[in-house]
Structure formats: structure tokens, C-alpha cells
Amino acid sequence: MAEQILILDFGSQYTQLIARRVRELNVYCEIHPFNKIPPITPDIKGIILSGSPCSVRDEGSPDLDLDQYRGKLPILGVCYGAQLMAQKYGGNVAPSEIREYGRANLSHLDMHSALFKELTHGSQVWMSHGDTIKELPVGFDIIASTPSVRIAAYKVEGEDTFGIQFHPEVTHSLEGKNLLRNFVVQICDCSQDWTSDVFIDITIDELKQTLGDDKVVMGLSGGVDSSVAATLIHRAIGENLTCVFVDNGLLRKSEFEEVLESYKGLGLNVIGVDAKAKFYAALAGISDPEGKRKAIGRTFIEVFDEEASKITGVKWLGQGTIYPDVIESVSVNGPSATIKSHHNVGGLPDFMKLKVVEPLKTLFKDGVREVGRALEIPENIIGRHPFPGPGLAIRILGDITPEKVQTLQEVDAIFIQGLRDHGLYDEVWQAGAILLPVQSVGVMGDERTYERVVALRAVSSVDGMTADWVHLPYEFLGKVSNDIINKVKGVNRVVYDISSKPPATIEWE
């Protein structure tokens, strides 16, 4: 087991960020809900208590028995975590006069504290709280203040127990990463040796132990997550892994052939399944976005089940699930609201009696890409834009027909190739075209036209949770628009989507 930091989640919107920052320091960490804490094993080197939307003053607010950890392991309480410890041990937490949200500066800083090593006086931090610690318990000392918050940080005498009112995990806390490094490296004594190579070695060993001589099938999409997951499983069990790549008739132009070709060098055993007709039949006449997603999810499972049953002795289904998917489903306040039901092989029906193996379930997308590069998976797979499982079906607004799919494939191919030709592909996190259920009047060679409108979308993002539209050069947009209207029959107008997420989403359906 790798050394790790345990992050106990009280439901803050920033908890995932704490984990990202710790991982960026090459230290492994895991988030667990405050009410489902795993047993403390020797590899756990310290505990971070997260923030929370709750108030420690409220009846029934999140709480836990800290006596079992205090003095035995270093503890860092962030915001709610700090307030909780202060209140629990005899201090006083009260509503502050004003809700403090935004930047503040640490005016008084105890430079002898290991937590502040190499931080500067006046360091800018990010505050987000409505409660404030008025009084500390006996034996707790103030180690930092701001002009408006007297107890901005404290330490417990004789213990490596700390509380901070601000959020070091947010980039607006300019030296927040140094503070976390001080906690994790100086105070918890973690050795910062958690790298992609270590992850790969540990994961392959674990997969060998878990899977033994069992057979695994897995859905491969050409995307980053499933490609990296398949490569890890393949390194562990070789020929006992069979990958299934489904042509659902909703892929990009020539994608089926190109993806199958690109996997040839990887040594994976990949079966390509042409299920176009099945998917089109399932989608016929459905124009509601959720209805389309459900029909696609169902058909994927049917195709999968059919393929799995052709291979004798399959016990496991491999999946490319990554950490954000896992965290969402175990979050303190229950799974977050369903905005869109993402196509997922996850909720398997009973008739598919397979156990699930998910080697990437502790990584973020950027970590998955790093592991992929360390496994020497070619850059044309690792650097690919994400592409949704339901494919072009959620980019054709309204019902799906093969003819509409073909039109959109042509438009999308011109746009994506254009991005590549102009050196813009890698500048963009994700891009695609959307076929609108609208016709507009145009004029071509003196003739009136009445044809379809397409929208182009290109976004920047870190993890797809939030996104901004990309300011693509006008010359580029002009050229692509011309190419599309000239080359794709049935399209006479191109528009560019300039909405960010939130309030829009990346996909239109």
C-alpha cells in the first residue's frame, strides 16, 4: 500500500480540490464521507477535515469521534473542520456579523509554525464562511489572523493538530499549495513518491491477485479512460481480456475503422461489433433527450450481453470509471441531482451476472492521461478530446435518422480536421458540431435554398464540470463555415455557440 492522506468529507464543494492538490504533490490520498471512515492502517499518515455547507451550531450537523485520532495522527481542519474541532473541545463558534466570502490577507502569522514554513506575511487566502470561531478551547493557540478574523488558524499544544478558517485548496489562496505541502510533507512526513509508475506497478499487482486466471470483457470506446483501463488489465492478465468496440452508428466519420486500426499496435484483443441497425431501430421516432439516452444505454447493454455470452467463462466486466464518478455516487448529501443521465455501463441489469473491475476509479482525468503516457499509449489516443458514449445522438436535436447522422458526420469531420490543420486541436478541451432542428432560407447560385442550420461548439475545461467557450480566431471560423456550406449538402447556415457551463452544458442534450 502507498502512503496516503485521508480526507474526511463533510460535503464541501471544495473537497475534490483538496484531493487534487495533495495528488499534485505526488502524495496519494482518498476522500471518504465523515460517516464512513475506513479503519486506520499504518499507511495513513495524516487526516484532513474538509469544509461543509452545514453549520456546527445546527442540531444534527456532521460530527465524528476525533479522540481516536487526536495526538496519534496529524490533523488539519479546513473551515468547517476547524470550527468543528474548536467547538467540540470547549471553544465557541458563532455566526459572524457578515458572511465572509472572498480574498483576505494573513496579517499576523506565526512564522515558527511548521504549517507556515516559507509563507509570506500578508499572504492572500480565500475565505468562504458564515460562522466564525470566537473562542478557542484551552490548549489551542492562535497562529494566524486577518484584519477581520482573529482566529484564522490555530494549533493544539503538544499535538500536530491544526485548524484553518480559509481554504488553501482554492487557487485564490496564493500560497495554499505551500501550506498543504508543509502539512503533508513536513508534518505528516509523506515522501512524495506517488507517481504514475508507482500507480501502474501497484495496480497491475492488485489486478493479478484479484483476477487470477479469470476472463474479463470490457467496452472499449477509443476514448482515454477505457483505453488506459484496458491497457492496465491487459498487462495483468494478457489474453484473458477481450475488448468490445461497438459501432452504434453514432460515432464520428470513419471513427470505427480508425479506432480499430489505432488499437492494432497495442496488442489488445479487440472485437469490433457492427450494431448500427440495432441502435437506429431502438432510436426510431424518439426525440426526447432523456428518452434517447435511455434507449442507447439499454441497447449497449444488450449488445454487450450478447458478446459476453459468446466467450465462455467470462466472470468480470472491465470499466473505465474514474474518481469523479465514484465521488459523486458516495457524496455526503447523496448523489448530485441528475442533470443528464450519462450513458454508463454501470447499472448492470441482473441478467448480466458479471463482477465489475475498475482500475482507474481513484484517478482524475489528468492523472489518467499521465498514466496513459507512462504506459506509452500513443498520443493520438491520450490526447483525444472526450467523446460522449451516446455520440452524435445527443448532438442531433430531435429524432435520429441515418441521413441526419451522415450529414452531421460530414460537418463534424470538416470542423475537427480544420482544428487540426490550424494547430488548434490541442488548444481545445472538446469540440464538436450540433445539427439543429431548424431550417433557414439562403441563396446559392441565384437559387433559393431552405436547408439545415448547424452549430459549432469548442470549449476549454479542466474536467468537464465547468467550461468556457473558446475564442477561436474569426478567420478560422470563417473558413470552416465556408467549407461546411460548400461541401455538405443540405446545410446552408453555420453558427458558433458562445455559452459557458454553467449555465449551459457542453452537450446540447
Ligand X SMILES: Nc1ncnc2c1ncn2[C@@H]1O[C@H](COP(=O)(O)OP(=O)(O)OP(=O)(O)O)[C@@H](O)[C@H]1O
Ligand Y SMILES: O=c1[nH]c(=O)c2[nH+]cn([C@@H]3O[C@H](COP(=O)(O)O)[C@@H](O)[C@H]3O)c2[nH]1
Ligand Z SMILES: NC(=O)CC[C@H](N)C(=O)O
Describe the strand order of the beta sheet including 270-274 as a list of residue ranges. Answer: 270-274, 241-247, 215-219, 314-318, 355-357
Binding segment (CB under 5 A) for Mg ion, from list 22-30, 215-223, 242-250, 254-262? 215-223
222 labelled as ligand-binding? yes
Report d(CA 416, CA 3) in Å as an integer.
43
- Does 53 bind ligand Y (CB under 6 A)? Our answer is no
Q: Choose among 361, 357, 292: nearest CA to 326.
A: 361
Q: Rounded to an integer, what distance in angstroms lies between the CA atom of residue 376 and that of residue 19?
A: 26
Q: Which stretch binds ligand Y (CB under 6 A): 9-17, 18-26, 382-390, 404-412?
A: 382-390
- Residue 227 carries which DSSP code? H
Neighbours of 448 (CB within 10 A): 8
- Does 86 sit near ligand Z (CB under 6 A)? no
Q: Does 223 bind Mg ion (CB under 5 A)?
A: yes
Return the residue of 386, 398, 442, 490 that touches ligand X, per CB under 6 A: 386
Query: How many residues sit close enough to ligand X to count as binding (CB under 6 A)?
Result: 18
| Residue span binding ligand Y (CB under 6 A) among the ranges 25-33, 160-168, 262-270, 498-506 | 498-506
Among 6, 76, 79, 115, the residue binding ligand Z under the rule CB under 6 A is: 79
Q: How far is CA 465 from the centre of its chain?
A: 7
Has 225 been labeled as part of a binding site?
yes
Taking alpha carbons only, the member of 172, 192, 197, 196 closest to residue 182 is 192
Closest to ligand Y by CB, 338 or 380: 338
Q: How far is the CB of 221 from ligand Y (least distance, A)?
A: 8
Q: How far is the CB of 464 from ligand Y (least distance, A)?
A: 4
Q: Which of 21, 23, 129, 253 binds ligand Z (CB under 6 A)?
A: 129
Which of 435, 426, 365 minimizes the C-alpha distance to 406?
A: 435
Q: Helix 15-24 crosses helix 323-330 at what angle (to 10 degrees)?
A: 150
Q: Is 220 in the site for ligand X (CB under 6 A)?
A: yes
Q: For this structure, is 121 an active site residue?
A: no
Instruction: Give 364-376 as a DSSP string.
Output: -HHHHHHHHHHTT
248 binds Mg ion (CB under 5 A): no
Residue 36 binds which of ligand X, ligand Y, Mg ion, none (CB < 5-8 A, kind-dependent)? none
Tell me which residues in 416-455 interact with ligand Y (CB under 6 A): 430
Strands 153-156 and 161-164, bridge-based pairing: antiparallel
List the alpha helices (DSSP H) in 73-174: 80-88
Which of the stretches 38-46, 85-93, 195-203, 215-223 binds ligand X when contact is defined by CB under 6 A? 215-223
Which residues share a beta bridge with 32?
A: 8
**Residue 505 engages ligand Y in binding (rule: CB under 6 A):** yes
* Residue 245 in contact with ligand X, rule: CB under 6 A: yes
Contact indicator for 238, 211 with CB cutoff of 8 Å: no
Give the cell for residue 119.
509563507
Positions in the binding site for ligand Z (CB under 6 A): 12, 51-55, 79-80, 128-131
Catalytic residues: 79, 167, 169
Q: Which residues bind ligand X (CB under 6 A)?
A: 219-221, 223-226, 244-246, 248, 319-320, 345, 386-389
